[in-house]
Structure 1
Amino acid sequence: MSGHLQPIKLDSYKPLRELVCENIRQAIIDGTFSPGERLMEIQLADEMGVSRTPVREAIRKLELEGFVVMIPRRGTYVADISIKDITEIYEIRISLDILAAGLAAERITDEELEQLNGYLIEIGQHIANNDMDKIVEVDTAFHDMLYTASRNERLRSIINNLREQMTTIRGRSMSYPGRLVETMDEHRNLVEAIAAHDVERAQYAARIHLENAEHTLMRSLSEHLPQKKA
């Protein structure tokens, strides 16, 4: 196991198991731990300066989130997301985002609409600066605001769980040539529909946005697959 985790700082209000979980999850997202790499409880505990109990609890949660796979008598390994996994996640995400967009169109506040438009401006600025990290960060905040506006915390939690499972490869879709311009147009259409409190148009805009994101990601992944020799 080649990863190196930062020691846990015990000055947070969060439970220790949650801090440990966040630390390991972020290491997987950042690529510190590679897909298929084995995670050893003892080594993880030593690196973070904690006992094995919160590490064990964190690994169980990460398995539920899809970040790791626990194989009986073999150990715990970093999950490698497959094409099938991506398809399944998007099938669920599309349905849930359509629901969230419709609820947001009914329940959003003027302040939240103003914030959404502010995020669009920010994303445009980061596109101009070619700052992909910031683009992803603000895009995440944009969608979080939509889910908040749905006024359904369980829906928001489920969507965020699914979205986290895609974090490691999400940038491939957004960085695909021409995709950022398309994303901005799709975001504007979605915000305009929600601002008009047009439920059906908001749901349609959400569907188009997620379907296009999925298709772009699939194209990007297929282009990086080894080509078969003739």
Structure 2
Amino acid sequence: MFKDTAGIKVTGLPLSSNLFIQLRSDILQGKLKSGEKLTEQRICDEYAVSRTPVREAFRQLELDGLIETIPNRGAFVLGVTTEDIQDMYVLRKAYEAIAVKWAIERITKEEFEELQEAYEFMEFYTMKKDMDKMLNINMHFHELIYNAAHNRMLKHVLSSYQFYTKQTKVNLAYVDQYLDEVLNEHKKIFDAFIAKDPDAGAEAITIHLENAKKRAKLG
């Protein structure tokens, strides 16, 4: 059985994709350690699959920079370091400022209504102190902005950065004391959409991501 990082069974995807998702999750969560050797036979035995999906999953992991294949030695886990995550925050901050600007300029009425609904859910779950639901709707809020920017490459890059920074072991497990702070930061982002002010939106998202980095204890 393959599960994603939330522990939900993965279905409807090719076997190699499911295996890639599971192995990526195990690396990001630290279950597969940096420097650890991965053999095709070990993965075949552990996940009850043939060598073909294992080779394809390894290829995808190497493209993502999570493993390295060394000739005559095999595949080794590279993992994601704290420095990698620090760099991702810097890159994400730059790209997300562009995304917010474009989204404010390009958002449709329907997309704005979805964003408003997401923000209202954030308010509700903050009031309820429901940390898990707040974090999920937080990710959804950002994804709606990526969609509203109407640029496929930008959406792909930002979705990847968000996934990696949220799923790695070095990321902060939010505590109740941060929920109001995070909501207030998202309010300023949403207010920029209401005001149709791209510069205010870029400033608000930049401050939010700088604070998110501090909350993750990355400096």
TM-score (normalizing by structure 1): 0.79
- State the match for 1:157 in structure 2: 156
- State the match for 1:137 in structure 2: 136
1:168 maps to 2:170: no
Query: What's the CA shift for 1:141?
Result: 1.0
CA distance in 1, matches of 2:169, 2:100: 21
- State the match for 2:101 in structure 1: 102
CA distance in 2, matches of 1:128, 1:11: 34
CA distance in 2, matches of 1:113, 1:60: 39
Query: Which is further off, 167-176 or 41-50?
Result: 167-176
- State the match for 1:204 in structure 2: 203
Could you say what secondary structure the match of 1:70 adopts? strand
**1:49-64 mapped onto 2 (5 Å cutoff):** 49-64=48-63
CA distance in 2, matches of 1:143, 1:11: 25
- State the match for 2:19 in structure 1: 20
- Residues 6 and 47 of structure 1 are in contact (CA less than 8 Å); yes or no, is this contact kept in structure 2? no
**Identity of counterpart residues, as a percentage?**
31
Could you say what secondary structure the match of 1:173 adopts? coil
Count of equivalent residues: 212
Query: What's the CA shift for 1:159?
Result: 1.1
CA shift in 2, pair 1:35/1:181, >3 Å: farther
Query: Which is further off, 133-142 or 33-42?
Result: 33-42
CA distance in 2, matches of 1:86, 1:171: 8
- Residues 63 and 69 of structure 1 are in contact (CA less than 8 Å); yes or no, is this contact kept in structure 2? yes
- State the match for 1:226 in structure 2: none
- State the match for 1:35 in structure 2: 33
Could you say what secondary structure the match of 2:204 adopts? helix
Query: What's the CA shift for 1:177?
Result: 6.0
Letter paired with 1:167: K
CA shift in 2, pair 1:177/1:157, >3 Å: same
CA shift in 2, pair 1:119/1:158, >3 Å: same
CA distance in 1, matches of 2:109, 2:64: 34
Letter paired with 2:143: D
- State the match for 2:194 in structure 1: 195
Could you say what secondary structure the match of 2:49 adopts? coil
Q: Deviations over 1:130-166 (max 9, x none)?
A: 4333222211111110000000011000111222222
CA RMSD after TM alignment: 2.8
Query: Which is further off, 167-176 or 140-149?
Result: 167-176
Query: What's the CA shift for 1:210?
Result: 0.9
Query: What's the CA shift for 1:91?
Result: 1.4
Q: Deviations over 1:110-148 (max 9, x none)?
A: 222222222222223333444333222211111110000
- Residues 125 and 134 of structure 2 are in contact (CA less than 8 Å); yes or no, is this contact kept in structure 1? yes
- Residues 10 and 16 of structure 1 are in contact (CA less than 8 Å); yes or no, is this contact kept in structure 2? no
CA distance in 2, matches of 1:136, 1:77: 32
TM-score (normalizing by structure 2): 0.82
Letter paired with 1:126: Y
Query: Which is further off, 149-158 or 74-83?
Result: 74-83
Query: Which is further off, 142-151 or 189-198?
Result: 189-198
Unaligned runs of 5+ in 1: 223-230
- State the match for 1:114 in structure 2: 113
Letter paired with 1:175: Y
